[in-house]
Chain A
């Protein structure tokens, strides 16, 4: 039967420090992030169809759009064919889609009370935000792994090295987590899912097209080049491309990681401030 609660030792007044706070904040943050990532994997296990339907769009980009422009040497910019060139961009776009629309889940969770429950647990606010972001990254990671399998099966020429693939997935996780936090910031200020859908579309397409996901920066007009240089997705895609294709200059990979991780830190800070306001 149910054990005695902490109420027993002291009938009134201040109780002993709650046991849930006995571990250091960093450990609680890790435990929270782990719990949320685990829950996402469990949800994916219960709903395979979600993963399959989400995989259709990246495959269309790769095999329809990519095949149509396959022999365009200018667009391929050093890669063996254009499909290989856009593979990292398609991977990043699929992850961006998951991340940006993760805010919808926040609105849904607010409507069904899950957000209130989470915010009333002893998890630090940052841990909740990081946990949610990790949850989005887990979905992106599973989808990227499927895409890599398809690339391997179809013989599209990417560079199969362990550091390259692991590094690419790590960069993808950081980028997805950062955009998921951006999505949480937006969701905190939006009342309805319909409005969020509109805003999500509004920011996702410019982020995608004003990056190097589909074409190299070198062929962009000057103004678009400047915009792309301020777009974190550009650095995520370029990093993926260097890790998976070996395309890019010396030292650029470090810059890509610095920009993406810097963006992640800024977005976690912003989401930590904004997220609790989502319930108001």
Chain B
């Protein structure tokens, strides 16, 4: 469903992604794991057609991200790391807005919104302004807005950053329910080891724009004779995951955490 082959992204002399390759099977939950600045967000942005690749090739739902951007965008639901729900609109108005801009036909709009609301269990507070919702509610609202055009692929960039453990658990419960029901393929970036280990079928570990290991969590643990994924990360990168990133990354994460309360 997603194919990334020798992907390279450069910003001037800086290599953000340096020859990354991986494939995600239909219906799979695939995690890109790495510290801030590893190149995870850049990779996802290329897949969402927001950034052009400098080299290599990427396909999403059978479409080439470089040549068939419109088809790719019509086949994905994308949730960026920052909170994208419009706080000045109610949850229902956010859903209506994204139903319109993602091309959901008028005749099925209400039904699609109702389905997305059910899938994310957000029906109780549809008429509240988004800025008054808690972090977990906001993330579920955002995911609901990404489901309206029934995309075969969901690209989620750090969907649980800033959430408390309970809200994180609820978000993942709803995502797994969605996968079971609809066969949606999920590509998620995270820097949370435990989350990656528990929630993803397969993982790719990124560091400094390189993919340094990939496999199922069990395979990664076994091949490195490690008790936890954190030990695998240390073994393949030589450092702890908290390191890395720049002041912009830290500032962005603090801002998101601040908005999530």
Contact = CB atoms under 8 A, between A and B. Distances in A.
Given A23-B103, A120-B73, A2 B83 contact: no
Contacts of B190: none
Contacts of A152: none
Interface string A115-140: 01111111110000001000000000
Nearest to A32: B101
Interface stretch (B31-39, B165-173, B176-184, B223-231): B176-184
Nearest to B106: A31
Interface string A11-49: 111110111111100001001101110110011001100
Contact of B184 (A5, A20, A39): A5
A15 B151 CA distance: 11
Contact of B152 (A6, A32, A111): A6
A11 B26 contact: yes
Given A116-B80, A119-B50, A19 B105 contact: yes
A17 B62 CA distance: 10
Contacts of A202: none
Contacts, number: 158
A231 B214 CA distance: 59
B160 interface: no
B78 A15 contact: no
B62 A122 contact: no
Contacts of A5: 150-152, 182-184
Given A18-B74, A42-B93, A111-B255, A118 B101 contact: yes
B260 to A, nearest CB: 12
B125 interface: no
Contacts of A15: 61-62, 75, 152
B83 A39 contact: no
A120 B97 contact: no
A8 interface: yes
Contact of A2 (B75, B80, B103, B147): B147
Given A6-B151, A19-B149, A1 B100 contact: no
Given A4-B182, A21-B71, A120-B49, A12 B103 contact: no
22 contacts: A2-B182, A6-B61, A6-B150, A6-B151, A8-B183, A10-B62, A11-B27, A12-B62, A14-B61, A15-B75, A19-B149, A31-B103, A34-B100, A36-B101, A42-B89, A43-B88, A111-B82, A116-B45, A116-B50, A120-B48, A121-B73, A131-B101
Interface of A: 1-8, 10-15, 17-23, 28, 31-32, 34-36, 38-39, 42-43, 46-47, 111-114, 116-124, 131, 276, 279-280
